[in-house]
A and B are shown apart, each in its own frame.
Chain A
Amino acid sequence: MARVQEESSALDRFIDWFIPPELAAQREKRQLARMFLISHLCGPLLGNVVPGAVWFLEGRPTFPMAILAASITAFWVFPFLLKWFGRYNLLCFVSVQNLMFCILWSCYFYGGVTSPTLPWVLTIPLLTFFYIGPSPKLRIMALCQFACNFSIFFLLYRLIPAPPPPISSEVVGLQVLGIVSTLACAGYVTMMALYYRRILDSGAELEAEMRGHLATAAELRRATAEAGRAGAAKAEFVASMSHELRTPLNAVIGYSQMLLEDAEDEQDDQSVADLQKIHKAGKHLLRLVNEVLDLSKIEAGKMELVREETPVAEFLASVVEEQRAEAEAKGIGLRFQPSGDLGNAKWDADRVRQALSGMLDNAVKFTDQGHVILSAERTPGKAPTLVIRITDTGVGIDPQMLPHLFEKFTVAHDTTASKYGDTGLGLALSLALCKLMGGDISVQSTVGEGSCFTVTLPAAPAGARRKARETAPAAPARKRAAA
């Protein structure tokens, strides 16, 4: 890709200092102004060589020479006028007028149509058309200005004969003046040409860079579209894959269940134990498949929420009751503690249940003695939120693992994994669901004392008719846990 070296020399900075902001803002105008400034700042140095040579040849300052030097030096005023007053086009014409005056003045007094200062006439159209840029109207005006000046010059030249040049030795003096003047003029034109070349180059580099940026932008758009397509294809693949996986899994679960029933009837204890393992593993696998499907749906923004008015207290009690059998089997306490009136919430009850069950199931699984409590309160205000806490007196979570808890397939400890089974995608899915519903999950835990998962869920969706997909998170947040 084209890379422009930002070559901002002292000269450039000096020149740019004179450019008023309204010109600096437009690249085209800024280039013209730079040409204008370089010729006005350097021009008088080279231009004054001519009156200098005249002074030297005449041996004393004369009136025509003084006027010439003054009007050449006056070019130095233009940069300041430009900086203070702007009016670029007007200044161009005044400057061109001054230029023509200088040149025609010196031609008039030093040799007329055979004047050694005649080469400078060439700089008049050169500079004029550099300054005024591509506008046809300004070009016509400039041509008119030339015509007027030259007409007046010839008229005066014919009517009032010029006084003989006061240069001492006429022929030699004019020859010396001619050489000096032509060299100075050539130097001046060279300087302008070099500077112009430089401006063109920087323009070309800028254009190359811009083309580079445009190509990059197009490339980015293409890549983004491709990534989008790939993402959609992946989501589609995962969805159909999950469906295809589910059918054979149903057979595994169903037939093992049937065999289990047979074995129980026949009191074949060994077979019962084996079949229970197959059945359990099948159900575990099915749960994972469903979680993968749900997560990929959320990530693809395709999870639709069906929100209905839900009586919160009643709903949460039923979620807790689902774990009753498991908790009783382990001999731990399981309680639902609502504080105050929880009211109704516009929730997709199935999805809230799914999110909470995952955490509640974990709490029961990782608690061997003590209790698991699900408490809930409603924060008042314009956008009421339900704060649901699942507190257990279980093994707790290693502080190092806390930040990674909601990532996919993270297990607190290898040893915990082997003892309690891994949590797989459960927490990642819980968090993704909560975020989808405008809520969040945080966790506090002390090893050996227990954990507390805090779920916050707005009682109603944020935007009245906002679609669920608009709030779908790209992926579960990584750093979630409170220290």
Chain B
Amino acid sequence: MTKILLVEDNEMNRDMLTRRLSRHGFEVCCAPDGPSGVRMSEEEMPSVILMDVALGAMDGWEATTLIKARPSTAHIPVIALTAHALASDRKRSVEVGCADFDTKPVDLPRLLSKINACLQAPAA
């Protein structure tokens, strides 16, 4: 079963996405903040990481930078999730090494297609 790590600080968003992704056959593990997201990326070795960018003390971009800097987890594709579809956010995501970018609230079919694209692409 494909494992997804969801890094998201809002409990309801975490619950919703977990349930919806589970229903589509993914195994979902969750991290409520940046540091635990970085830690779990190594412990759980997920196939894809969904990273909320607005996370409080350590934001999603910082966490992604740390994940990408660690050789053992550098290959895991990260999809950034933000509230705004801003070019600046998208640019930032690319800069820190995100494979893709999506906006919240999540449009599930669109997110699924992005996840599948990441899974099919050769490891980055």
Contact present for B105 and A254 (CB under 8 Å): yes
Give the residue name and chain of the A residue nearest to B88 (CB). Answer: A306
Contact present for A306 and B13 (CB under 8 Å): no
A247 on the B face (CB < 8 A): yes
B86 on the A face (CB < 8 A): yes
Contact present for B12 and A350 (CB under 8 Å): no
Contact present for B87 and A348 (CB under 8 Å): yes
Contact present for A254 and B88 (CB under 8 Å): no
Q: Given A254-B106, A286-B105, A306-B91, decide whether A350 and B85 contact each other with a Cβ distance below 8 A.
A: yes
Q: Given A348-B87, A350-B87, decide whether A251 and B108 contact each other with a Cβ distance below 8 A.
A: no
Give the B-binding residues of A (Cβ under 8 A).
243, 246-247, 249-251, 253-255, 257-258, 261, 286, 290, 304, 306, 308, 348-350
Contact present for B13 and A254 (CB under 8 Å): yes
Known contacts A254-B16, A254-B17, A348-B87; 7 additional CB pairs below 8 A are: A250-B12, A250-B104, A251-B13, A254-B12, A258-B20, A304-B88, A306-B87
Jot down 30 A-B pairs with beta carbons below 8 A, ordered by A.
Answer: A243-B83, A246-B83, A247-B10, A247-B12, A247-B13, A249-B105, A250-B12, A250-B13, A250-B104, A251-B12, A251-B16, A253-B105, A254-B16, A254-B17, A255-B12, A257-B20, A257-B105, A257-B108, A258-B19, A261-B20, A261-B23, A261-B108, A286-B105, A290-B84, A304-B88, A306-B86, A306-B87, A306-B88, A350-B85, A350-B86
Give the residue name and chain of the B residue nearest to A249 (CB). Answer: B105
Task: Give chain A nearest CB distance to B92 CB in angstroms.
Answer: 10
Q: Given A247-B10, A286-B105, decide whether A255 and B16 contact each other with a Cβ distance below 8 A.
A: yes
Contact present for B88 and A250 (CB under 8 Å): no
Interface size on B, residues (CB 8 A): 19
Give the A-binding residues of B (Cβ under 8 A).
10, 12-13, 16-17, 19-20, 23, 83-88, 91, 104-106, 108
Contact present for A258 and B16 (CB under 8 Å): yes
> How far does the alpha carbon of A290 sit from the alpha carbon of B84 in the complex, in Å?
9
Q: In this complex, which of B83, B85, B86 has the most chain A Cβ atoms within 10 angstroms of its Cβ?
A: B83
> How far does the alpha carbon of A257 sit from the alpha carbon of B104 in the complex, in Å?
13
> How far does the alpha carbon of A349 sit from the alpha carbon of B106 in the complex, in Å?
22
The 3 closest A-B pairs by CB, nearest first: A254-B16, A251-B12, A306-B87
> How far does the alpha carbon of A246 sit from the alpha carbon of B85 in the complex, in Å?
14
> How far does the alpha carbon of A226 sit from the alpha carbon of B86 in the complex, in Å?
32
Chain B residues, CB < 8 A from A348: 87
Chain B residues, CB < 8 A from A251: 12-13, 16
Chain B residues, CB < 8 A from A250: 10, 12-13, 104-105
Task: Give chain B nearest CB distance to A297 CB in angstroms.
Answer: 11
Chain B residues, CB < 8 A from A261: 20, 23, 108
Task: Give chain B nearest CB distance to A340 CB in angstroms.
Answer: 27
Task: Give chain A nearest CB distance to B74 CB in angstroms.
Answer: 28
Give the residue name and chain of the A residue nearest to B13 (CB). Answer: A250
Task: Give chain A nearest CB distance to B84 CB in angstroms.
Answer: 8
Chain A residues, CB < 8 A from B88: 304, 306
Chain B residues, CB < 8 A from A247: 10, 12-13
Task: Give chain A nearest CB distance to B96 CB in angstroms.
Answer: 17
Give the residue name and chain of the B residue nearest to A304 (CB). Answer: B88
> How far does the alpha carbon of A306 sit from the alpha carbon of B87 in the complex, in Å?
7
> How far does the alpha carbon of A340 sit from the alpha carbon of B12 in the complex, in Å?
51
Contact present for A349 and B87 (CB under 8 Å): yes
> How far does the alpha carbon of A106 sit from the alpha carbon of B26 in the complex, in Å?
124
Give the residue name and chain of the B residue nearest to A243 (CB). Answer: B83
Chain A residues, CB < 8 A from B86: 306, 350
> How far does the alpha carbon of A306 sit from the alpha carbon of B91 in the complex, in Å?
10
Give the residue name and chain of the B residue nearest to A348 (CB). Answer: B87
Give the residue name and chain of the A residue nearest to B11 (CB). Answer: A251
Give the residue name and chain of the A residue nearest to B84 (CB). Answer: A290
Chain B residues, CB < 8 A from A308: 87
> How far does the alpha carbon of A250 sit from the alpha carbon of B85 in the complex, in Å?
15
> How far does the alpha carbon of A350 sit from the alpha carbon of B88 in the complex, in Å?
10
Task: Give chain A nearest CB distance to B9 CB in angstroms.
Answer: 10
> How far does the alpha carbon of A357 sit from the alpha carbon of B84 in the complex, in Å?
16
